[in-house]
Structure 1
Amino acid sequence: MNRLTNLVYPATVRAQLQVESKRAFFPLAGAIAATALGLDASEVTEALLERERLGSTAFGRGMALPHARIPGLSGVRGLFLQFSRPVDFDAIDALPVDLAFVLLSPVDAGADHLKALAQVSRFLRDDATVSRLRGARSSEAVYAILTGEEARDAA
């Protein structure tokens, strides 16, 4: 099964996050990127908003995949955010979003950026995985699902 161990770290995964609106989401994602990855919060926020202005990154089934290219980033990184309650995200299917995978890539990532987008979208297509992500009540539990640690723990 597809794992996201190359994109997320314990510090980049948050569960039960209080998100008031789509508008409030982007500065929150920027702040988490600053804390977890040492990036400039306003730079991340603006880059994500710039991409979002092209069209909603909510792709349906209550999920969004905001993404941006960030100068100075050393590799493709991801933030996974599970919301405590869904918020309207202008999704194509009009369903509110409660799961967001924020993908941040170096400016020159090219194919790596596209490969990571494909990897995340494949991972989030699995209904059983998405159901487990929604049911997780801690950042540690969400991280275990994203990385396959839960399977190892059960073995």
Structure 2
Amino acid sequence: MSDTPLTIENILAPELALCRVPASSKKRVMETIAEQIQQHDPSLSDTEIFNNLVSRERLGSTGIGQGIAIPHCRLEGLDRVVGALLTLEEGVAFDAIDNQPVDLVFALIVPKEATSEHLELLSQLAEKFNEKAFCDQLRQCTDADSLYRRMTVEGS
């Protein structure tokens, strides 16, 4: 692991900021995340990512309320943290704590051994997503480029 502090900026690649993704279900959202990450890094297995996300989700929904979910999992053999940001075309049922449909998703795939960094990132994300104005700005983005910029440069 490098000494670079883990921030949203250095885990989210522009190609993994996806705007207005069509998804009909929570499962489809997880599949899309896994497929996109695998396309971005072919050394990773989309099946493994999907299965790990689903397993984590079974422990309790990662829907944190207000239409936001932060699905996350650990992945064997991963040497860095990978993030993916999606806005969904329409909200999907996510078993969120407030039972609201989710339309804003930030997925976090972390190395098997990452623990404190993982928790630190989750808290950074939760803090950002706690700001309603920030979430509204993300939801208003109409293309991946503006979504990425808003999440990283402008949002920090």
* Equivalent residue number for residue 50 of structure 2: 45
* Equivalent residue number for residue 134 of structure 1: 139
* Equivalent residue number for residue 89 of structure 1: 94
Q: 1:4: Cα distance to partner?
A: 2.1
Partner AA of 1:75 in structure 2: R
Distance in 1 (CA, whole Å) between partners of 2:82 and 2:131 is: 21
Partner AA of 1:16 in structure 2: R
CA offsets 1:45-84 (integer angstroms, 9 cap, x no match): 0000000000111010000000000112111121001101
* Equivalent residue number for residue 32 of structure 2: 28
Q: Secondary structure at the match of 1:26?
A: helix
Q: 1:150: Cα distance to partner?
A: 8.0
Q: What are the within-5 Å matches in structure 2 for residues 42-81 of structure 1?
A: 42-81=47-86
TM-score, normalised by the number of residues in structure 2:
0.91
Question: Out of 10, 24, 47, which is 1:6 matched to?
Answer: 10
Contact map agreement 1:76 1:112 (CA 8 A) in 2: no
Distance in 2 (CA, whole Å) between partners of 1:138 and 1:27 is: 21
Provide structure 1 residue ranges, at least 5 long, that are not aligned to the other structure: none
| Cα gap change, 1:129 to 1:72, in 2 (>3 Å) | same
Q: 1:102: Cα distance to partner?
A: 0.3
Q: 1:119: Cα distance to partner?
A: 1.1
Distance in 1 (CA, whole Å) between partners of 2:8 and 2:142 is: 19
Q: Secondary structure at the match of 1:49?
A: helix
**Aligned length in residues:** 149
Identity among equivalent pairs (%): 33
| Aligned-CA RMSD value | 1.5
Runs of 4+ in 1 over 3 A off after TM superposition: none
Distance in 2 (CA, whole Å) between partners of 1:125 and 1:95 is: 15
Q: 1:149: Cα distance to partner?
A: 4.8
Q: 1:11: Cα distance to partner?
A: 1.0
Contact map agreement 2:87 2:104 (CA 8 A) in 1: yes
Q: 1:87: Cα distance to partner?
A: 0.7
CA offsets 1:73-124 (integer angstroms, 9 cap, x no match): 1111210011011111111111100000000100000111111111111111
Distance in 2 (CA, whole Å) between partners of 1:88 and 1:95 is: 7
Distance in 2 (CA, whole Å) between partners of 1:15 and 1:102 is: 14
Q: Secondary structure at the match of 2:37?
A: helix
Contact map agreement 2:76 2:111 (CA 8 A) in 1: yes
Distance in 1 (CA, whole Å) between partners of 2:71 and 2:56 is: 8
Distance in 1 (CA, whole Å) between partners of 2:56 and 2:110 is: 13
